[in-house]
Structure 1
Amino acid sequence: MMATTMPRVAGKLTAQAPLAPLVWFKAGGKADWLFEPKDLADLQAFLRDLDPEVPVMALGLGSNLIVRDGGVSGVVVRLGKAFAKVEAIDAVTLSCGGGASGILVSSTARDAGIAGVEFLRSIPGTVGGFVRMNGGAYGGEVKDILVDCDVVLRTSELVTLPVEALRYTYRHSELPAGAIVVAARFRGRAGDPSAIQAEMERIAAAREASQPLRSKTGGSTFKNPEGHKAWQLVDAAGCRGLTVGGAQVSEKHTNFLINTGTATSTDIEELGETVRRRVQDKAGITLEWEIQRVGRK
């Protein structure tokens, strides 16, 4: 794809952009194009003028993602500071930009005395990713707090979707392909800031104690099957510490894969598939990937 075929932008458009530095695993190939829009109008104009055959994918903090070594076709859109604002719009509701982090959302909620969104403190991602994946942890899920979200469709049209339109299930939504979440409203409940802070600290401590946060990881690798915990199935299948190349099943939490320093994305994905086969053989249960895998092999 020649640079001349790409629309003009007010933000930043980079050809053959390395994605490994932008994802938690620190592995993977390049994006054909990386677009960092200046603002909403820039994003809409770009999508309006872009060849409709060119695929578009949103990238948040890259925490729950394997970018395959062959790179990503088309355009990867990364929302920056213009999409990272969070503010309370009434006593129990937050308006959040699609690029805002879970830490910023939960901290703003605490300062406004809004309880019920503390769990977002523990999810290393952005609002756009939470909304798309029905992010959840420590007893909370986005479906429980989302009022509605603003989405730019692949056609460039801006639409507001109520929570019902996303048809949420466990770690899944029916958000249209190529759609980019640019904002969302979350509704909690009235709470005491000190109690909210205490809950956030409890969650942070629990996460620190149980998860390999100091490693290059991708968060929870597999969805919990009905009636089971993925980590227990992985452990029972003898996969704790298992390696493929530079990738390893975490010794600390077996539902986490880690890049020990030299892993390719192929190593990481092959390790995940090896774990899935072993769990299938041992327990007769098929683990589903929670981590999103994108790009060319």
Structure 2
Amino acid sequence: MPQPRGKLTPNAPLAPLVWFKSGGAAEWLFEPADADDLAAFLAALDPQTPVMGLGLGSNMIVRDGGVPGVVVRLGKAFAAVEQLDDTTLRCGGGASGILVSSKARDWGIGGIEFLRSIPGTVGGFVRMNGGAYGRETCDILVDCEIVLRSGERRVLANADLGYTYRHSSLPEGTIVVSATFRGFPKASEDIQTEMDRIAAAREESQPLRSKTGGSTFKNPEGYKAWALVDAAGCRGLRRGDAQVSEKHCNFLLNLGDATSADIEALGEDVRARVKAQSGVELEWEIQRVGVAK
């Protein structure tokens, strides 16, 4: 391994870092000191070594055999949010949705409120075109700075990212180190009212205090994934300690000691039942990474 300025840990357990609290270890976990450190490390790393970014671990199943290669986790050095002008923010790739939306509120920048409801970081939002409550990352992104797997640094405009629903064309192994978002002028108190509404709606409808991975399946065109799951009789369905949430059936839960294999297999059970009942093939929204045990 190249010797970076940041922290490089071999055989690092990932279960404590992901919301499901399950799964194996990273062969290497790298927490870079800054973007220069990340770029130099990736440039010196064997090109055959796989690289994966990890944010808050909210939308991810880490398989029980762990993740080969290097998992990059952006820490405090990548969590800054700064105001560029009356409507524009520059946000580190490790900044949370709650931090970004709160800063936007403080500076009277509207249109960013929906990030309050997404339990992840800017890097994940940009990569997956994260969205909620009628808004998506592509609606607010101006550009982003990335480090490619080769170590090359680039700035990409919104139009370069090939955005579709919960998808971008960023190459595998790319790490988003910052993003520029643009909203519109709005009174801070009105922004807070909208954020409170979003928070209350999430609290009422989602199992926020459980070990979960967030929204499990993408909404097929013309359908709501949760409604298809419910109609297929999957509300409360279990496999070991893995369960389809009874509160919101597009969420899977780890009730205690579920393995990642249990959780992923339960998801496949749901997909099969929905296909048989409605003819619709659900697509995973949650990332499933690593190798089976």
> Partner of 1:235 in structure 2?
230
Deviation, structure 1 residue 21: 0.2
SS in structure 2 of the partner of residue 89 of structure 1? strand
Partners of 2:106 and 2:144 in 1: how far apart?
22
Count of residue pairs brought into register by the alignment? 292
Give the counterpart letter for 1:226 in structure 2. Answer: E
Partners of 2:52 and 2:136 in 1: how far apart?
23
The equivalent position to 1:124 in structure 2, one of 119, 123, 128, is: 119
> Partner of 1:166 in structure 2?
161
Unpaired runs of 5+ residues, structure 1, are 1-5
Deviation, structure 1 residue 40: 1.1
Partners of 2:167 and 2:258 in 1: how far apart?
28
The equivalent position to 1:212 in structure 2, one of 203, 207, 215, is: 207
> Partner of 2:252 in structure 1?
257
> Partner of 1:82 in structure 2?
77
SS in structure 1 of the partner of residue 269 of structure 2? helix
State the TM-score, normalized to the length of structure 2: 0.99
Deviation, structure 1 residue 177: 1.1
Deviation, structure 1 residue 212: 0.1
SS in structure 1 of the partner of residue 38 of structure 2? helix
SS in structure 1 of the partner of residue 214 of structure 2? coil
Within a 5 Å distance, the mapping from 1:56-67 to structure 2 comes to: 56-67=51-62
Partners of 1:31 and 1:262 in 2: how far apart?
20
SS in structure 2 of the partner of residue 82 of structure 1? helix
> Partner of 1:181 in structure 2?
176
Partners of 1:227 and 1:160 in 2: how far apart?
35
Given the alignment of the two structures, is residue 190 of structure 1 paired with residue 185 of structure 2, yes or no? yes
Partners of 1:183 and 1:136 in 2: how far apart?
18
Deviation, structure 1 residue 72: 0.2
Deviation, structure 1 residue 286: 0.1
> Partner of 1:3 in structure 2?
none
What CA RMSD, in Å, does the superposition of the two structures yield over aligned residues?
Answer: 0.4
The equivalent position to 2:22 in structure 1, one of 13, 20, 27, is: 27
Give the counterpart letter for 1:202 in structure 2. Answer: R
Following TM superposition, the consecutive aligned residue runs of length 4 or more in structure 1 with deviations greater than 2 angstroms are none
Deviation, structure 1 residue 102: 0.1
Deviation, structure 1 residue 87: 1.1
> Partner of 1:44 in structure 2?
39
Give the counterpart letter for 1:69 in structure 2. Answer: D
Given the alignment of the two structures, is residue 280 of structure 1 paired with residue 256 of structure 2, yes or no? no
SS in structure 2 of the partner of residue 287 of structure 1? coil
